[in-house]
Structure 1
């Protein structure tokens, strides 16, 4: 098993730094594989939340390639989806998950947020009921360049949110990130609204693995770990989650003192 080059804690959050994104992704895949094997040795089924985005690509591929996980006993959920986007849209998170995960592992069930629903409030309620039908054993996350978790941007993040799933307006920084990472051709093409699991819902997971590689994440990683915990940088809430680990590469950790 690959090992981190530096391991430390910031409050309750374990932080691990790796020489490269590839080494980080491989080690997180090994950690996730072992954890899921242990969970399934103790119970019949497991429930997992998965994130999309470029930070998850190498990790998801490594986890699936490793094998050794009985996916037929695992129910999968995802963290967010754009409002008004069809399931086959190039930027749809349902398409991302279907092509990169579901079609490769054939899980017990993959519950999707129906982004093109005609009744978005009812969709929030439907997905909430699905999530609350069992405990979440594992949540795999990324961090946005504005510090968001899922689509909990600073303007809408609520550490005491009464909801499990909600509809939010995306801030400009978030929408620009979707363009810069190649998901949309320009800002006008990015939907203004999206569904997201809330921060309290995310934090119910028994184990949280958060991957934040690449130089473009260096500033936000520094702010999350060295500023006070607040919704100015929503991912800072991970510092209050002893079940969470933040995984960095040397590039995303480059501004840490």
Structure 2
């Protein structure tokens, strides 16, 4: 499992967006698995900018949303489908027919889960799955448990997760659905490449457990340790609780930034003295 530490969340997002753009040029039919949430918004902003600049073409790509709230239709402003339209899909040239998401308003949720799993399989699986990281270590809506459901499934949401999603529902936790549809961990692990992104000090504890702790269903993200091409992209705040070699790498990152800052100040003083 590769861990990459960036100075800032912006640097992380810009680097990953450039990576996705390169992947699209190499494989225009790239199949993407995409998360909602606050963390990937800078990534979607940069991908939209690259598209406007003619450097990212999504016409032949496919996209699968990672999850959705049960009982919430696509027209609901708090739905993840609406979130992804606002922040990404309406800003790029991906055809609507090439974007899929769990239908939270489906009458038969189990049948919808099976449909979504088949849709991913018919697309040939996910080429690049991007993930966020919950405060309790969940990915998608795969919550900590004694056992995890492998495939797309109906998930019960923890109170912590519902609180984190309250801004989508007028900051009222009581309005956040108690259940969701989520792509399962086995489906995620079948993606050809997985990139998990985490930023901010609030994610530091979960990052520490993910990177340096054991594989356990009590921290679903830790299962990424089993993936041959899993990458953990974090900013220095999210990396602040790492130890050992990775902590040393973080210290070098901080020293290099201080060195560049001193160099810029020295250059400015030199120009001012001319």
Band the TM-score falls in, shorter-chain normalisation: 0.7 to 0.9
Cα deviation, residue 89, structure 1 = 2.1
Per the alignment, residue 246 of structure 1 pairs with: 232
Q: Is it true that 1:191 corresponds to 2:170 in the alignment? A: no
Equivalence map 1:5-24=2 (5 Å): 13-24=1-12
Per the alignment, residue 3 of structure 1 pairs with: none
Structure 2 alignment gaps of length 5 or more: 244-274
Q: Is it true that 1:72 corresponds to 2:59 in the alignment? A: yes
Q: Deviations over 1:149-198 (max 9, x none)?
A: 1000002752xx45x2100111122112223xx23322211111100000
Alignment partners' CA distance in 1, 2:203 and 2:2? 18
Structure 1 alignment gaps of length 5 or more: 1-12
Cα deviation, residue 49, structure 1 = 0.7
8 Å contact from structure 2 (residues 30, 62) kept in 1: yes
Q: Which of 81, 85, 104 is the aligned partner of 1:115?
A: 104
Structure-1-length-normalised TM-score: 0.87
Q: Which of 75, 83, 88 is the aligned partner of 1:101?
A: 88
Q: Which of 9, 16, 40 is the aligned partner of 1:28?
A: 16
More strand by share: 1
Per the alignment, residue 76 of structure 2 pairs with: 89
RMSD across aligned C-alpha pairs, in angstroms? 1.5
Structure-2-length-normalised TM-score: 0.82
Q: Deviations over 1:99-130 (max 9, x none)?
A: 22221223141112111111111111111111
Aligned residues: 236
Alignment partners' CA distance in 2, 1:244 and 1:227? 16
Per the alignment, in what secondary structure is the counterpart of residue 246 of structure 1?
A: strand
Distance 1:156 1:58, change over 3 A: farther
More helix by share: 2
Per the alignment, residue 202 of structure 2 pairs with: 216
Per the alignment, residue 128 of structure 2 pairs with: 138
Q: Deviations over 1:206-242 (max 9, x none)?
A: 1112110011101111111121110111101112212
Alignment partners' CA distance in 2, 1:135 and 1:113? 16
Query: Which protein shows a greater Rg?
Result: 2
